[in-house]
Amino acid sequence: MTHRIGIIGGDGVGPEVVAEAMKVVDAAGVAYTPVVFDLGGARYLRDGEVLPDADLEAIRGLDAVMLGAVGTPEVAPGVLERGLLLRLRFELDLFVNLRPFVAGPSSLNDGVDMVVIRENTEGVYAGEGGFLRKGTPNEIATQGSVNTRLGVERCVRFAFELAASRGRKHLTLVHKTNVLQFAGDLWQRVFDEVAAEFGSVETAYHHVDAACIYLVQDPARYDVVVTDNLFGDILTDLGGAVSGGIGRAASANLNPTRTSPSVFEPVHGSAPDIAGTGKADPRAAIVSAAMMMEFLGKEDAAQRVREAIEKTEDVTGSTSEIGDAIAEQVQ
């Protein structure tokens, strides 16, 4: 069966790294029909469209989406991030953002082998809030954190299932329950309730500030981490930095119920400062593509891609040279 895969290169280095990722998918022998979408800063500047309904409907019918990066200095912050990336996460109900970190060549510490499960549809990202008296000296801005029982529970449950399937069977809840007394209380209660169903999984709780220290000084204590949208955003940039660079960090925006396509993307952003220079490391996008193949049931191809990345660990060069080296190795 040929998979229909949406390609959204997006902004900055996004199109460059996605091209390498798809080159490697080709080399791995996974047949697919690319459905290319012209979305991102260039499109918005041209015709004012961020994610037209017709494109969203077309995306709903696909098997998966490979996305590069979103955001460019020519467009006000938030327009593309909210209008394209977050809208896709919300509309497709991609409630799990799965971000694995494994010690790489420039790791601060070789003990990193963990997965962060970031809740991906709620929290302060939901867009609750607003202005009062905007532009006056008495102006007020609020930004609420939305945490639903359903949203927290399905994410926590996914994390327990993942932890139960791994060797260590360890799951840490990261939050800030000492200050966020409502959201933190809901997360902690749901976590404890679901834990009772997973007797084989050992659990821990860390405040997010302490988790930042541990992640730098003693990351080996983590196996699976589950956390909310904002903490997960911040923690996963740090996870990338301590485990061999953000150029290696991959992610999967998953709809585990498969009622809509999942979206695979590197953790890094569009890096407009190096766009077009060939300096972007495509490995994060290539690992994201391997995660996509796995999710589409092509475990063998995904495994070959992972091995090819390991074997070409020392390869340096331009974006396309690294992509070529991995593609050659995978055949």
10 Å CB burial of residue 113 (0-12, 13-18, 19+) is middle
- Helix 229-242 to helix 208-217 angle, to the nearest 10 degrees? 10
Concerning whether 314 is annotated as a catalytic residue, the answer is: no
**Residue spans of alpha helices (H) in the chain:** 14-27, 41-47, 53-60, 79-80, 87-91, 149-165, 183-195, 208-217, 229-242, 283-295, 299-311, 319-330
Judged by beta carbon, residue 266 or residue 312, the one nearer ligand IPM is 266
Instruction: Choose, by CB under 6 A, the member of 27, 59, 64, 70 that binds ligand IPM.
Output: 70
Q: Pick from Mn ion, ligand IPM, none: which does 70 bind, CB < 5 to 8 A by kind?
A: ligand IPM
> Token pair of 259, please?
């009622």
Q: Pick from Mn ion, ligand IPM, none: which does 85 bind, CB < 5 to 8 A by kind?
A: ligand IPM
Instruction: Choose, by CB under 6 A, the member of 12, 71, 123, 261 that binds ligand IPM.
Output: 71
Judged by beta carbon, residue 100 or residue 323, the one nearer Mn ion is 100
Q: Please state the closest distance from residue 76 (CB atom) to ligand IPM, in A.
A: 13
Catalytic one of 185, 209, 273, 300: 209
**CA-CA distances (angstroms) from residue 108 to 86, 113, 219?**
31, 13, 10
Helices (H) and strands (E) counted in the chain, each on its own, are 12, 12
Give residue for tokens 């022998």: 29
260: left (phi over 0), alpha (psi -120 to 50) or beta: beta
Judged by beta carbon, residue 80 or residue 330, the one nearer ligand IPM is 80
Within residues 223-252, the interface with Mn ion by CB under 5 A covers 233
The H or E element containing residue 116 is strand 113-119
Catalytic one of 125, 222, 281, 324: 125
CA nearest 140: which of 148, 126, 149, 130?
130
Catalytic one of 23, 44, 55, 176: 176
Q: Pick from ligand IPM, Mn ion, none: which does 71 bind, CB < 5 to 8 A by kind?
A: ligand IPM
Judged by beta carbon, residue 104 or residue 232, the one nearer ligand IPM is 232
Instruction: Choose, by CB under 6 A, the member of 49, 56, 79, 81 that binds ligand IPM.
Output: 81
**CA-CA distances (angstroms) from residue 319 to 70, 185, 264, 267, 322?**
18, 45, 19, 17, 5
Judged by beta carbon, residue 145 or residue 312, the one nearer Mn ion is 145
Instruction: Give the contacts of 233 (CB within 8 A, at least 6 positions apart).
Output: 118
Q: Please state the closest distance from residue 103 (CB atom) to ligand IPM, in A.
A: 21
Concerning whether 44 is annotated as a catalytic residue, the answer is: no
Is 228 an interacting residue with respect to ligand IPM (CB under 6 A)? no
Catalytic residues: 125, 176, 209, 233, 237
- Residues at the site binding ligand IPM, with contacts judged by CB under 6 A: 70-71, 81, 85-86, 233, 267, 269
